[in-house]
Chain A
Amino acid sequence: MRDLKAVGKKFVHVMYPKKSSALLRDWDLWGPLVLCVSLALMLQGGSADSKDDGGPQFAEVFVIIWFGAVVITLNSKLLGGTISFFQSLCVLGYCVLPLTVAMLVCRLVLLAGSGTVSFIIRLIVVVAMFGWSTLASTAFLADSQPPNRKALVVYPIFLFYFVISWMILTFTPQ
């Protein structure tokens, strides 16, 4: 189906980020929805003090991702960016893909054990994917800003992915 192919093409674009306007022109929010739901599913039931079935954490991840993306978009629009609201949401959502992959890898590594070695492996993977996410989204978003404002736009994106990476890294299964 046409929509599914468009979503798949965008996933490929994120993994090999080159500046292309195709990702920006035809925005859709299906990919971010799928990524958000899968990340939230993988992150739930993680911390030791949750007495119920992971309810609050699931909704937390959801809210953090969407609310964070909205705030970053508002920030970039207030700084005078030329990109439209939904395009920016689309790009930020799709660039969560490397972090979702990192979460998957972390979960697999944690199945094998949770010692120092696994922590080091997880750290390396998460840092690499965090860097990839930030670079990918910056490649798409920073170009829509005037040159002296680029750092002001990149900083919230950095923070956003940092928070998600932190949640991934500090995930410990019960």
Chain B
Amino acid sequence: RRRRAARCGAGGGGGGSPGPSPLTGSPPQALVDDTEDVSLDFGSEEELALRKAKIRHPLATFFHLFFRVSAIITYLFCDWFSNSFVACFVTILLLLSFDFWSVKNVTGRLLVGLRWWNQIDEDGKSHWVFEAKRVPTIAASTEAEARIFWLGLIICPVIWTMFFFSTLFSLKLKWLALVIAGISLQTANLYGYIHCKVGGQKSISRLTSRFFVTADVPKSKYRVGPSATAHETYQPASRCWFCSFWVLVPKITPGRAILVFQ
């Protein structure tokens, strides 16, 4: 029955594409003899298109840049839009807040596979956790996306710092509160992601032995949880100071995508 299941599964999943599975390079029957699991190849057109596309998450990329750039544009041209200081202030503040939320929770995870959050455990100690994605997935990000992400992340705080100095020296002090808020929100994201990235490269060798250690720590609710794909695994990018244990997302072991259709 397993053999029949393998053939049906492979045939159905392959969408009629004949020949050996691209994952293993050998015919599907050979797999079934060795293991109990059925390795499926999608091989479908959507996946090939996904692999070839330069930007795999168009919406995330768009929103990553949209809120930041529109906050800057609104700040520069607010006199054209409206006479009211308050309306401009509130609009820019809302744009900055949405940008902070979307970059921290959505676009960082999708575009570069990094995430960071703060977590407080039962005895009241606060930990900052920084994680970087270990295994590149099929829908992982491309170079173009990563470049857009980092450019957007770095250039905007620099622009807000320039606004800070221009506001200070032109003595338009009522905007100072807004500029400081903008700088702090954008720099927070920048710092968080740089910490994830830099930490990941330093501590890779220490982590391989601990890969299977899982700690049952309830994750902060203010992060969007890991998506349910089987391929995602995260490694902790750094051991934060207050951490006494690793936080790892327990997931399916890498190397074999195991999906059973039936």
- Nearest chain A CB to B82's CB is how many angstroms away? 10
A73 to nearest B CB, angstroms?
A: 13
Instruction: Return chain A residues, CB-CB under 8 Å to B178.
Output: 59
Report whether A55 and B86 are in contact in the complex, using a CB–CB cutoff of 8 Å. Answer: yes
Identify the closest chain B residue to A33 (Cβ).
Answer: B97
B120 touches A59 (CB 8 A): no
A41 and B85 within 8 A (CB): no
Closest to A41 in B: B86
**How many angstroms between the C-alpha atoms of A109 and B120 in the bound complex?**
43
Complex Cα gap A6–B86 (Å)? 28
Range of interface residues on B (Cβ < 8 Å): 20 to 34
Asked if B118 and A86 make an inter-chain contact with CB atoms under 8 angstroms apart, the answer reads: yes
B93 within 8 A of A: yes
Chain B residues within an 8 Å CB radius of A33: 93, 97
Q: Which residues of B contact A62 (CB under 8 A)?
A: 177
In the bound complex, do residue A53 and residue B84 qualify as a contact, i.e. CB atoms below 8 Å apart?
yes
Chain B residues lying within 8 Å of A26, measured Cβ to Cβ, are 120, 220-222
Per-residue interface assignment for chain A, residues 2 to 35, with 1 indicating a CB less than 8 Å from any chain B CB and 0 otherwise: 1100100000000000000100111110100100
Bound CA–CA A44/B85 (angstroms): 11
Residue of B nearest to A62 (CB): B177
Minimum Cβ distance to chain A for residue B113 (Å)? 22
A84 touches B120 (CB 8 A): yes
Query: B70: CB under 8 A from chain A?
Result: no
A59 close to B174 (CB less than 8 A): yes
Q: Is the CB of A87 within 8 A of B120?
A: yes
Q: How far is the CA of A82 from the CA of B124 in the complex (A)?
A: 7
Proximity bits, A111-133, B CB within 8 Å = 1, else 0:
00000000000000000000000
A71 interface residue per 8 A CB criterion = no
- Closest Cβ of chain A to B182, distance in Å, is 13
Q: Is the CB of B220 within 8 A of A63?
A: no
Give the residue of B83, B118, B176, B222 whose beta carbon is less than 8 angstroms from that of A53: B83
Residues of A with C-beta under 8 A to B177:
59, 62-63
Q: Which residue of A lies closest to B126 (CB)?
A: A84
Q: Does A55 contact B120, Cβ atoms closer than 8 Å?
A: no
Q: Is the CB of A53 within 8 A of B86?
A: yes
A145 at interface (Cβ–Cβ under 8 A)?
A: no
Contacts of A3 in B (CB 8 A): 101, 221-222
Contacts of B83 in A (CB 8 A): 53
Residues of A within 8 A of B (CB): 2-3, 6, 21, 24-28, 30, 33, 37, 41, 44, 52-56, 58-59, 62-63, 82-84, 86-87, 144
* Given A6-B221, A21-B124, 20 extra CB contacts under 8 A: A2-B221, A6-B222, A24-B120, A24-B124, A25-B120, A26-B120, A26-B220, A26-B222, A27-B118, A33-B93, A37-B90, A37-B93, A52-B85, A53-B85, A53-B86, A54-B86, A59-B175, A59-B178, A83-B124, A84-B126
